Amino acid sequence: MADVTEAPPTAEPAPKKEKKVKPKPADVVIPPKKPKLSKAERRELQERQRAAKAAGEKPNKADGSIMGGGAGDSGGKGSGKGGKDVSGATADKKGDKKSEDARGGEGGTTRGASEDKMVSLFSHLPPPKAPLEIQHQLSSTNRSNALQPAILTLGHLYQTHSLLGGNTRCRAMLQSFSILLKSYTPPPSSRDFRHDVDHALLKPAFQYWTTLCRPHSVSMGNAFSFLKLAVANLDRDLAWAEARELLLESMEAYVTERIEYAGKAISRHAGSKIQDSGDVILVFGKSEVVNRLLLDAALVDKKKFRVIVVD
């Protein structure tokens, strides 16, 4: 007789665990799902949103309508018993925040349409100040800090653009520093006159000129750094009269070597590039060095050329 093997009993499937359904709280209102829009409907929605944005109102992304703050605007959020109408409150809060941002507070600067139209080419320049604001800042600075008349006079010339050109403004700054050094005497309680000259004489004047009157030029920044280094390199035990004479001589040498001689060297080198064959030179604005270059080429070297000034 053949052996009959019995098949092993199959395991019964484990009963599935029933998922616990969390009860939905009564106060929570689930907004309906957004319907899928066709390509034509999306284009129409975008056009309505652009029109609402151009009109200065905030468009609703769901249906393209304008959001309002009325009590009857539920927008799918305030329907049902026990539901909270939060759309109107949210719109009111945003409107209050926008009005506060527009006001900006007393003495603050408001962001207007001029900032939105700022050209990236001129974004590094400081925004222009109103004449009344400048006068208020100047008067408050004059009352708080005992600035000498030479500082205030040069600041007025900077502010009114009476001095034009980087080298011209640099010479005027060094001349004013010369006047200040001649009339300055360190206090008897001073331990180091170098610290007093730097913090009580040079820095206040330079900050007044560059922050309240007009931003400094490259030549002014280089000359100020040179003067601060010259003050720091003075001997601490040196008498103030001798130290003052050294600083005055250093400033005179700076004007002669770094401005006058440098301009002549640039004029001689660049003037050799102009050919006496009817060259046309394009110049942007006005520069002291470029002006000297063109005059030397025309009057000294007797070269004939044309100049086009773009400004």
What are the tens digits of pLDDT across the range 62-78?
A: 454 545 444 444 444 44
pLDDT tens digits, 147-158: 888 999 999 999
Cβ atoms of residues 304 and 281 within 8 Å: no
DSSP 256-267: IIIIIIHHHHHH
Summary mean pLDDT of the chain: 76
Asked if the model's pLDDT at residue 231 lies above 80, the reply is yes
The pTM score is 0.55
Query: In sequence order, what are the residues at sequence separation of 6 or more whose Cβ sits closer than 8 angstroms to the Cβ of residue 205?
Result: 147, 151, 176, 177, 180
pLDDT tens digits, 4-54: 555 555 556 666 666 666 666 666 667 777 777 888 888 888 888 888 888
